[in-house]
Amino acid sequence: MIRTKSVGSLTKHTLLLTLTLLSSFSVSSFDRITGEHFASRSEVIAPHAMAATSQPLATQVALNIMRQGGTAIDAAIAANAMLGLVEPTGSGIGGDLFAIVWDAKQQKLFGLNASGRSPKSLTLDILKQQGTKIPSYGPLPVSVPGAVDGWFELHAKFGKLPMKTLLAPAIEYAKQGFPVSELIAYYMQKSVAVRGQYPGFKDVFMPSGTMPRKGELFKNPALAKTYQEIADTGRDAFYKGKIAREIARYMKAQGGYLSYEDLATHHSEWVEPIGVDYRGYTLWELPPNGQGIAAQQILNLLEGFDLKAMGFDSPEYVHTFVEAKKLAFADRAKYYADPDFNSLPIKQLVSKEYAESRRTLIDPEKAAKRDHAGPVEGDTIYLTTADKDGKMVSLIQSNFRGMGSGMTPPTLGFVLQNRGELFSLKEGHYNVYAPGKRPFHTIIPAFVTKEGKPFMSFGVMGGATQPQMHAQILINMIDFGMNLQEAGDAPRILHSGSSQPTDEIMLDGGSVHLENGFSAQTRRSLIEKGHKLQEMVGPYGGYQAIMRDPTTGVYYGASESRKDGQAAGY
């Protein structure tokens, strides 16, 4: 159904004809391929540049930066700063960042791990005294925010315009205000119950006493000052200057452990992306401490099955996908952690030989009951940009659990992340807590090449949803013939189990969540195979993507309808 509130200058006849054509295209273009029906729209196509972010204002900022001569990396930084203002429910400079960059000049991919480490003064013994797991909120789960250092690392390597220019749009909107979208207003309101108890949170996000409503102009003057300080003074303002000292002062006052020294010694790392082939396409992910290789493990397992013959809406496909996910997430639970503290068997985990041996564990008729699984709660922003010179960046950034820990230095205008919650307290575990260690991370950017050339930059937001949807996006395109937009709009499969990603064992097979669009027959057959089906609304992620035509260089953009996102180009 297409809804409209205003006809404007269109005649009634023209409007009805337009809606009829759009409705026909959005369903039947996919219907001819698979017979399945779901709402979609056409891809966005542009010759020179493209941006796809989770907020239209951020997309416009990115395009304006590239029109001024900025690179795709400049545009991504500017858009990320904007998202920290307009979408504080998923992002901000109190969180971490990961990125994959395609440099057209060098014809090479670069990976950046800009995740922060745990406080050096916080020990495993101290955490064990607090309970059996690290709290989700408050001072204890706070780790060093890595996003700002990530900006400057990206900018130094691939940027062109000065940082003052990149941060100027977000500073202006923070001072003048922006209209809050319905979705963001909803998530901001949900955040009050827990985070509102912590000093500074209400000062920043509820200056009038209530959270902003849909359409209300919201200002964040404290964040504007913080951005201006970073623009004027540079990266060290955040990690060694006024901002660092204020974070340290605030955290000490709240009984936290994150210190000035933790901030001053932080650094990001450039890492080699890992590529795994799937039916002639190469999916690139970053190595742990993130979970990107789980998507590659899922695809390696599924490559041995004829998914196209099974069909999109079939119990055989859904069952096989879920069982492959369980096997990949068993490894995720055991091995994914900070490589500085562990020797991780990454090459083995993503090898075809390993997948072949593990594939035999999939019973085509019966759902496995004992396995490991991870969380589905969490929120993030993902964005991707591409410029006239062929540079493309896949960037993901997050506070974790929406608005993070609730720890909000009021004079700075942003909330600190709670990524430290994802450490294990189990001694001997790869991901056991240690001072100065990076936690297991859920946010993952993705990139796809074909025959060594850039094909697609994409990502999907939302906790343990992400590797499952990375795999499904490629399956939708490669096996089921969907285009870039349809691949993200198609109904999704999400398997969930226990709440912890590292040390909890799933004993009941977990739950399969199917979005509307899968048939009743498929659902019945899955139950007969032993799956527990559960309805769920919300954590299916939010998808953005840019694809490049290797022949013409034309860009295709996509942004799905589950969130406020927009793909646009020029």
Q: Which residues are known to be catalytic?
A: 380
| CA atoms lying within 13 Å on the CB side of residue 516 | 5
The Cα 185–Cα 448 span in angstroms is 34
The Cα 16–Cα 31 span in angstroms is 22
- Phi and psi at residue 295, to the nearest 5°: -65, -40
Decide if 560 contacts 515 (C-beta within 8 A): no
- Name the token pair of 84: 């920290």
The Cα 96–Cα 91 span in angstroms is 9
- Name the token pair of 152: 């400057």
Residue 179 pairs in a beta bridge with: 217
Give the three-state DSSP class for 434. Answer: coil
Find where tokens 């209530």 sit: 210
For the chain, helix (H) and strand (E) counts, in that order, are 20, 18
- Name the token pair of 177: 């205000």
- Name the token pair of 169: 């749009």
* Start-to-end C-alpha separation, the chain: 29
Closest of 215, 178, 166, 212 to residue 192, by C-alpha: 212
- Name the token pair of 250: 């605030």
Element of type H or E holding 100:
strand 96-103
CA-based diameter of the chain, in Å? Answer: 72
- Name the token pair of 432: 């056991």
Closest of 394, 157, 152 to residue 267, by C-alpha: 152
The Cα 155–Cα 62 span in angstroms is 14
**Amino acid found at 519:** S
- Name the token pair of 124: 């495993």
Assign residue 553 a region: left if phi > 0, alpha if psi is -120 to 50, beta otherwise?
Answer: left
Closest of 483, 395, 397, 467 to residue 102, by C-alpha: 395
Taking CA atoms, 327 is separated from 188, 297, 540, in Å, by 35, 9, 20
